[in-house]
Amino acid sequence: MELDSNSSLYPLHRSKTLHLVRHAQGIHNVIGDKDYKAYLSPEYFDAELTRLGWQQVENLRKHVHQCGLAKKIDVVITSPLLRTMQTAVGVFGGEDYPETVDALPLMLANVGNSGRSAISSLNCPPILAVELCREHLGVHPCDRRRSISEYQCLFPSIDFSLIESDEDVLWKPNVRETKEELASRGKKFLNWLWTRKEKEIAIVTHSGFLFHTLATFGSDCHPFVKKEINKHFANCELRSMVIVDKSMLGSDSSITNYPGRIPSGADVPSDAVVNEELANDKPVSGWQVFKSGLLDVTALAAIGSISCFLIFNSYMEKGKEEITRNS
């Protein structure tokens, strides 16, 4: 395939890999898929996973371990609802919790009448609960969360420190968040991710949140790519995507970039000499800077009175002298 105007190139350190996961099947999904009005029933308050949902969790867990993804994840971000946290710990958490260890489990046994064993917090990435990636807020009881103090008892090793209110003050019984408000919250969430140092992030969230957030992307892509980005997520579906910071919002420095240096010779000052002269505001010739391999923003700022043209002109003149001397 030939590169064309549709191709883009960005520095690696200005990107993050996001592994997006919709929660597994919840009890509200079973009836809600048949009758949308069922989502209004208080019976499905903070809905838990079904038996099929837990089987979906097991299948995805096997996949992320077999493909090597489990070892790459730096942090797992989860919506603080029962079904998303069950999915997060089931897919990305440790093995069954051994009662002989001192570490607290990620999830206690039988949370949400799951019949599941407790899940260990050992040998797995940290899991952080964040309100910004919750489902559509308001009206539907299934999207209302419990108190954080109750969750902390059920999920002792999930980090809830970023949630300010113990009770759910975001969910309103008579006001449903608009699609535009949800998409705006999704953008705010993605911007927040740039404040994190982690590069590979798993996000366990909801269908509506994913759909309306991702719908704001893809307009500059081929229609097939846009469709891949914008389509609805199935229960326990995983899609990996790369997000790029083109605005300097993120400030991560590269861990793989390497500033090349020209080896010092008999007539070439070492890096240390040039650095010392720059630090002491001593005049430094363009030739010294060029041959030392220090032609970067810092050097140009230090010799601001010398233009790039003069630096390279100095280089050419010095090069001619060397050629004449060595002839």
19 is catalytic: no
- Catalytic-labelled residue, pool 48, 131, 135, 177: 135
User: Which residue from 92, 133, 85 is spatially nearest to 111, judged by alpha carbons?
Assistant: 85
- Catalytic-labelled residue, pool 19, 23, 136, 140: 23
**CB-count burial class (<10 Å; 0-12, 13-18, 19+) for 49:** buried
Residue with tokens 């509506």: 208
User: Which residue from 232, 238, 235, 242 is spatially nearest to 212, judged by alpha carbons?
Assistant: 232
Amino acid 102 reads D
**CB-count burial class (<10 Å; 0-12, 13-18, 19+) for 208:** buried
23 is catalytic: yes
List the catalytic residues.
23, 135
